[in-house]
Amino acid sequence: MENCFLKHLTQCLSDVFLNKQQSYIDNNLIDLIVYETNRYAEQTIGSSISRKHSRSKKWKPTSKEEMQVFTALIILQGIIKKGTVEQYLSKRHSTSTPFSSKVKSYQRFNLINRFLHFSNNETFVAETHECP
């Protein structure tokens, strides 16, 4: 009974939260973030020598849908207070947030967070930028 309730609650939260989140963030902005995040990941991974077991090697390009889930999780972290990012995405019964751990793994969340980008570093000119 409890498992069924949690499953239903998780589905309701994801449907409502993701639909509301889409109205707060413009689709063009999400497209830009996806494009620049993928570009930055490619630039970073391509320009550095990674260690044998580097998590960066597991990078796969993100998508609009995945970025919407990522931004929803970031917003959710402002609503539900926990001590660490790991606790939001934990699958441990004692610390889990069912919605979060069902839609994104901690490792993938961290990879997206690591490469999250909003502009092209190659075209940035500090001398002419309003906030260098």
pLDDT tens digits for 3-40? 454 455 555 556 655 565 556 678 899 999 999 999 99
Whether residue 129 lies inside any domain: the answer is no
Whether residue 128 lies inside any domain: the answer is no
What is the mean pLDDT of the segment spanning 115-126? 88
86's tokens: 């790991």
Whether residue 127 lies inside any domain: the answer is no
What range defines the domain where residue 60 resides? 1-49+56-121
Q: State pTM to two decimals.
A: 0.70
Alpha-carbon dihedral 22, 26, 32, 34, rounded to 10 degrees: 0
Residue 132 — pLDDT band, cuts 50, 70, 90? low
Whether residue 31 lies inside any domain: the answer is yes
Whether residue 131 lies inside any domain: the answer is no
CB atoms within 10 A of CB 126: 7
pLDDT tens digits for 30-79? 999 999 999 999 998 888 766 666 778 789 999 998 998 888 888 877 87
Q: How many domains does the chain have?
A: 1
Whether residue 11 lies inside any domain: the answer is yes
